[in-house]
Amino acid sequence: MNTPKREIGPATLQKLGEWAMTRNKSLFTASFDMGLSQKLTGRGYDSLTRFTHWLGEIQRLAEREPVAAVRDLIHGIDYDPGCTKPRRAPKRRKCV
């Protein structure tokens, strides 16, 4: 969730998790609860709100234009395929 840096720290996630658990909701669903703003405040709440609203937009776009949604998601997470190590093909054994 925090790559790239989204400023959603462990304390924010802990409080969100507790909130969601007491209400028997997923983290995503609980993040939209009005009362959550009483438990989370400041930068943590603002960062979480930005992230969940962005994810909600991706979800709505996926219903209409799935390819565009995937493209936006990849762009939004700053995915760089060049940063992954290429797999090496297994060595072939020689038959003797």
pLDDT of 41 strictly over 90: no
**pTM score > 0.75 for this model?**
no
Strand residues in the chain grouped as ranges (E): none
- Cβ burial, residue 76 (10 Å; 0-12/13-18/19+): middle
Q: What is the pLDDT of residue 82?
A: 65
Measured CA to CA, the distance from residue 96 to residue 23 in angstroms comes to 66
Summarised one tens digit per residue, pLDDT across range 58-85 is 999 999 999 999 999 988 887 766 655 6
Q: What is the residue-averaged pLDDT of the chain?
A: 84
Q: What is the pLDDT of residue 85?
A: 60
- On whether the CB atoms of residues 60 and 49 are closer than 8 A, the answer is no
**Domains delineated in the chain:** 10-81 (1.10.486.10)
